Amino acid sequence: AQSVSQHNHHVILSEAASLELGCNYSYGGTVNLFWYVQYPGQHLQLLLKYFSGDPLVKGIKGFEAEFIKSKFSFNLRKPSVQWSDTAEYFCAVIPNQAGTALIFGKGTTLSVSS
């Protein structure tokens, strides 16, 4: 079945460590790609998005993601995490040839210790 896969269920890091969260999708054709974040007690917020153009996209709070079409991947990165980055991170895809619904991965919980 077509899907969005997030490789890490729970990631634990110390402050200042680098972060990379994996995301792969299995849809062909043109896709729009998103990373959303859900901080404790808050609603889902958009971190960054990719529609077209430069495959390296920059989002809020120092996050960036790289779209690698050949690998069907859209990994999220941050060079140096902070305690305030503790949250749940969701990768999501809109497979443009299959409607306009967001298809989410299962999410990665990031815990950052100070």
Partner 1 sequence: ETGVTQSPTHLIKTRGQQVTLRCSSQSGHNTVSWYQQALGQGPQFIFQYYREEENGRGNFPPRFSGLQFPNYSSELNVNALELDDSALYLCASSLEGPNEQFFGPGTRLTVL
- Can residue 35 be called a binding residue for partner 1 (CB under 8 A)? no
Give the count of beta carbons closer than 10 Å to the beta carbon of residue 56.
11
Stretch of 12-20, 53-61, 79-87, 103-111 contacting partner 1, by CB under 8 A: 103-111
- Can residue 104 be called a binding residue for partner 1 (CB under 8 A)? yes
Query: Closest distance between partner 1 and the C-beta of residue 6, in Å?
Result: 8
Phi, psi of 3 (to 5 degrees): -160, 175
Distance separating alpha carbons of residues 62 and 33, to the nearest angstrom: 18
- Can residue 100 be called a binding residue for partner 1 (CB under 8 A)? yes
Distance separating alpha carbons of residues 69 and 42, to the nearest angstrom: 32
Contact positions vs partner 1 (CB under 8 A):
4, 32, 34, 36, 42-46, 49, 90, 92, 94, 96, 99-107
